[in-house]
């Protein structure tokens, strides 16, 4: 949460910082600010609200002349969104300016000590202790780098920091621990940012900072230091994807664009790993001996990634016959999990920086379990901390609500399931070949699901049903796991109260909430369980519910006899059917949110990456 940028170069810094922040708004968007080292020292402008408010306040940056600066877009953790709590934060003496992504866990203790020394604070944030602490050491040492080092040694928690010092014009210091930070190498200019899109317009050469790393840079030079303070070399990596991947490209919202990018994201993720009719996962090593010793698999993740794990349980148990459990990362390490060498913990995360998921991964490693991460962001904390990584190649996902990352995470679980099933011999050769061929066809089948007619039909239903206050998603087996995702999408972007229940569970309590006009979305694509779900539909209809049923084309005629509205998807290999089922649900949430006038890409109170526990 929160995005930071920094610049030292030959161009006006403020417009570059504003442009960079516009690519980071997905990380937080309740306030924004910049500090430029100008002719009169450190000039700060910041404001509550979206970046647009800062653009207006600074007149697109024209009010802050200077060629060195730092910027921030915020998702509030300590202190409400307000002008005063917005970053950058100046030290009490005005010598140091700081932007921060992360949380300083011991800030209260540090603040008390600084107050005792006469330091005054203007905000409720944890970040202001950082600027004041650095200023404290700077007053003692008169050495910017040394002051930052001494201050950082006293900080507990997570931080990516961009720091300016009034008396060291031209220099920016950046520090990273447990929050992402990249360095961008330019020509006569250098950059830092929380994520690549913020600087991709200016450079493709980047270095990923590791925990404890520091970068001290000017327009023409950079020195990197490791956690021990030793100078280190960082090899620039070249970003190969285009900035257009992180732009709306003619779509009204990133979410819609990303829904339609799913076939490509799946192709990029699956096809290089499907060779000559077999799954080929060169990037990991799960030898047969090791797999035979695995007694239990946990899939630990948060939010939608956890719901991918809920599907993963069905997929892995069916194909590999290893007991598998999806666990909420935020609960995992507090539940005293019994882990060891015979446990494989699969970690699923788009951002690769979700604090709870990272903590679950560390707990698994601490207890000696094998860890395998499925991650979208290259070089992220989770990717670095896991024993093994399989990247999803979804490209940058900008909309806060995940769509293409979810789909690619699921596709990696399919790959893993088939890979492990082959090693373990838990699937017949023929079944394995059929499944592998079906997996290869999946990106095209997802494209076939995204037809204009189907999407228009979903939009039509959304515009008729958008006004419901309560929605229930019901389904059986894998459909119940898809319901969890459909329901989350609706809550997070359309602000509709919705719940997901295994269809058979409704009569054990929640059916008492069904009344005239309640919307029930029934997902009924598992052929063997179709009749049972139809019975559940009849039960809710008898109590006044309106029912929208999602089923496969072959079952449409039957579903139409019972449900009020029916949406269909093509029927494919049952293992991969959930990948098609989720698509109309994503579109339904999108159009419901639009009909309700919600900000689809930036829903209230949320941020794309959740780096607080």
Q: Which is nearer to ligand F6R, 3 or 38 (CB)?
A: 3
Q: Which is nearer to ligand F6R, 172 or 347 (CB)?
A: 347
Short-list 216, 273, 206, 270, CA closest to 236: 206
Q: Exactly one of 2, 35, 483, 549 is catalytic; name it.
A: 2
Q: Choose the binding region for ligand F6R from 67-75, 171-179, 230-238, 298-306 (rule: CB under 6 A).
A: 298-306
Output DSSP code: residue 598: -
Q: Which residue number is nearest to ligand F6R in terms of Cβ?
A: 303
Q: Choose the binding region for ligand F6R from 12-20, 120-128, 300-308, 552-560 (rule: CB under 6 A).
A: 300-308
Shortest spacing between CB 584 and ligand F6R, in angstroms? 16
Judged by DSSP in three states, 552 sits in strand
Binding track, positions 472-491, relative to ligand F6R; x by CB under 6 A = ----------------x---
Q: Which is nearer to ligand F6R, 436 or 487 (CB)?
A: 487
Shortest spacing between CB 275 and ligand F6R, in angstroms? 28
| Residue numbers 7-36 binding ligand F6R by CB under 6 A | none
Q: Which is nearer to ligand F6R, 358 or 526 (CB)?
A: 358
Sheet containing 222-225: order of strands: 89-90, 96-104, 157-165, 172-177, 214-217, 222-225, 231-232
| Chain position carrying tokens 């919600």 | 598
Residue 346: beta bridge partners?
299, 372
Q: Choose the binding region for ligand F6R from 118-126, 297-305, 444-452, 540-548 (rule: CB under 6 A).
A: 297-305
Q: Which of 17, 24, 300, 305 binds ligand F6R (CB under 6 A)?
A: 305
Q: Which of 8, 19, 610, 611 binds ligand F6R (CB under 6 A)?
A: 610
Q: Which of 37, 262, 402, 577 binds ligand F6R (CB under 6 A)?
A: 402
CB 341 within 8 A of CB 368: yes
Shortest spacing between CB 418 and ligand F6R, in angstroms? 23
Q: Which is nearer to ligand F6R, 401 or 585 (CB)?
A: 401
Q: Exactly one of 23, 313, 489, 608 is catalytic; name it.
A: 608
User: What is each CA distance from 349 to 142, 270, 322, 374, in whole angstroms?
Assistant: 43, 17, 22, 6
Q: Which is nearer to ligand F6R, 398 or 550 (CB)?
A: 398
Residue 324: beta bridge partners?
297
Alpha helices in 379-465 (DSSP H): 381-385, 404-424, 429-449, 452-465
Shortest spacing between CB 401 and ligand F6R, in angstroms? 4
Q: Which is nearer to ligand F6R, 145 or 360 (CB)?
A: 360
Q: How far apart are CA 520 and CA 513, in angstroms?
A: 11
Binding track, positions 130-169, relative to ligand F6R; x by CB under 6 A = ----------------------------------------
Backbone angles phi, psi at 598, to 5 degrees: -90, 160
Q: How far apart are CA 303 and CA 330, in angstroms?
A: 10
Judged by DSSP in three states, 130 sits in helix
Q: Which of 45, 70, 302, 598 binds ligand F6R (CB under 6 A)?
A: 302
* Cis check: omega of the bond before 88, within 30 degrees of 0: yes
When asked if residue 303 is in the footprint of ligand F6R (CB under 6 A), the reply is: yes
Q: How far apart are CA 474 and CA 383, in angstroms?
A: 34
Q: Which is nearer to ligand F6R, 383 or 575 (CB)?
A: 383
Q: How far apart are CA 472 and CA 486, in angstroms?
A: 10
Which bin fits 482, alpha (ψ -120 to 50), beta or left (φ > 0)?
alpha
| Residue numbers 318-377 binding ligand F6R by CB under 6 A | 349-351, 354, 357
Q: Which is nearer to ligand F6R, 179 or 203 (CB)?
A: 179
Residue 33: beta bridge partners?
46, 72
The secondary structure of 308-371 as a DSSP string is HHHHHHHHHHHHH---EEEEEHHHHTTS-----TTEEEEEEESSS--HHHHHHHHHHHHTT-EE
Shortest spacing between CB 303 and ligand F6R, in angstroms? 2
Q: Choose the binding region for ligand F6R from 11-19, 143-151, 296-304, 522-530 (rule: CB under 6 A).
A: 296-304
- 608 classed as catalytic: yes
Which H helix or E strand runs over 164?
strand 157-165
Q: Which of 25, 178, 189, 492 binds ligand F6R (CB under 6 A)?
A: 492
Q: Which is nearer to ligand F6R, 234 or 253 (CB)?
A: 253
Short-list 580, 567, 595, CA closest to 454: 567
Q: How far apart are CA 209 and CA 214, in angstroms?
A: 8
Q: How far apart are CA 1 and CA 24, in angstroms?
A: 10
Instruction: Show which residues are catalytic.
Output: 2, 608
Site residues for ligand F6R per CB under 6 A: 302-305, 349-351, 354, 357, 401-402, 488, 492, 609-610
């Amino acid at each position: 949460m929160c995005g930071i940028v920094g610049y030292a170069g030959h161009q006006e810094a403020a417009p570059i910082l504003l442009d960079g922040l516009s690519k980071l708004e997905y990380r937080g968007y309740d306030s924004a600010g910049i500090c430029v080292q100008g002719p009169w020292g450190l000039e700060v402008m910041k404001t509550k609200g979206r970046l647009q408010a800062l653009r207006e306040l600074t007149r697109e940056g024209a009010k802050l002349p200077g060629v060195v600066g730092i910027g921030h877009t915020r998702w509030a953790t300590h202190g409400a969104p307000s002008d005063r709590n917005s970053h950058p934060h100046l030290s009490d003496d005005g010598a140091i300016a700081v932007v921060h992504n992360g949380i300083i866990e011991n800030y209260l203790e540090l603040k008390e000590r600084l107050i005792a020394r006469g330091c005054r604070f203007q905000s409720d944030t944890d970040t202001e202790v950082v600027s004041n602490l650095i200023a404290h050491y700077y007053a003692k040492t008169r050495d910017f780098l040394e002051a930052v080092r001494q201050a950082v040694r006293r900080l507990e928690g997570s931080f990516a920091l961009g720091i300016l010092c009034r008396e060291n014009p031209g220099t920016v210091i950046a520090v990273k621990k447990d929050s992402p930070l990249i360095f961008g190498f330019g020509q006569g200019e250098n950059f830092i940012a929380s994520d690549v899109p913020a600087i991709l317009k200016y450079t493709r050469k980047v270095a990923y900072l590791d925990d404890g790393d520091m970068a001290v840079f000017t327009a023409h030079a950079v020195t990197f230091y490791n956690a021990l303070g030793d100078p280190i070399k960082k090899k620039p990596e070249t970003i190969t994807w285009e900035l257009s991947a992180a732009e709306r490209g003619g779509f009204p919202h990133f979410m819609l664009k990303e829904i339609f990018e799913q076939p490509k994201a799946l192709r990029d993720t699956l096809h290089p790993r499907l060779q000559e009719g077999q799954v080929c996962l060169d990037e990991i090593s799960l030898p047969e001996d090791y797999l035979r010793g695995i007694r239990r698999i946990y899939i630990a993740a948060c939010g939608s990634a956890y719901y991918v794990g809920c599907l993963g349980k069905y997929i892995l148990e069916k194909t590999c016959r290893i007991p598998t459990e999806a666990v909420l990362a935020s609960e995992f390490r507090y539940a005293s999990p019994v882990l060891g060498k015979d446990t494989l913990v699969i970690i699923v995360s788009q951002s690769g920086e979700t604090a709870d998921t990272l903590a679950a991964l560390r707990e698994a490693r601490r207890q000696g379990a094998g860890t395998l991460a499925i991650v979208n962001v290259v070089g992220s904390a989770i990717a670095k901390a896991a024993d093994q990584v399989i990247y999803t190649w979804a490209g940058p996902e900008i909309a806060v609500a995940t769509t293409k990352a979810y789909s690619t995470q699921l596709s990696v679980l399919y790959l893993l399931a088939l890979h492990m099933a082959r090693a373990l011999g838990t699937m017949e050769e023929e079944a394995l070949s059929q499944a592998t061929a079906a997996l290869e066809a999946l990106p095209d089948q997802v494209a076939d699901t995204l037809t204009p007619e189907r999407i228009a039909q979903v939009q039509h239903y959304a515009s008729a049903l958008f006004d419901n206050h309560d929605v229930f998603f019901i389904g059986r087996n894998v459909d119940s796991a898809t319901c969890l995702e459909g329901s989350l999408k609706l809550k997070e972007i359309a602000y509709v109260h919705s719940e997901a229940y295994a269809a058979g569970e409704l009569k054990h309590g929640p059916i008492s909430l069904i009344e005239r006009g309640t919307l029930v979305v029934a997902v009924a694509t598992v052929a063997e369980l179709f009749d049972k779900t139809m019975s559940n539909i009849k039960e809710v209809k008898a109590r006044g519910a309106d029912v929208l049923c999602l089923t496969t084309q072959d079952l449409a005629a039957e579903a139409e006899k019972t449900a009020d509205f029916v949406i269909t998807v093509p029927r494919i290999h049952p293992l991969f059917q959930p990948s098609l089922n989720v698509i109309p649900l994503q579109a339904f949430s999108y159009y419901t949110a639009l009909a309700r006038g919600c900000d689809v890409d930036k829903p209230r109170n949320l941020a794309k990456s959740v780096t607080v526990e």
